[in-house]
Structure 1
Amino acid sequence: MRFETQGSKTIVLIDTDGSSGRGRAVSFLTLKNISATALNNAKNFALIRTTITSIEYLYCY
């Protein structure tokens, strides 16, 4: 996964076979008014695992 900035938008790109594979990254999400710098900062995210279900949630602050 990597991020590219286009004006006030940040594009989230996914490369399913990794950077060393033959495939290329494709657009997955377009986010408005969120910088790639903010997305690269781990302090902006918290990974929480619940004990009620096996679902993991990713929260962005």
Structure 2
Amino acid sequence: MCECYRIGGPWIAEDPSCPVHGTLSEGREERIEAIIDRVVDGELTASEASDLIVEEWY
């Protein structure tokens, strides 16, 4: 479990600034899925996609 989880009462909440679960990660996941779709469609090679995905994380 990520350290961003905080337990308070019966609820578990995620820290919005967490790089894995926060609000910025949602957009990152969508961009990575779009890159993967481009590989499936033949627009990118796996190597090109790998480079783009690494850029998304750093």
Per the normalisation by structure 1, the TM-score is 0.25
Bigger relative contact order (CA 8 A; separation at least 6): 1
More helix by share: 2
* Larger radius of gyration between Structure 1 and Structure 2: 2
Per the normalisation by structure 2, the TM-score is 0.25
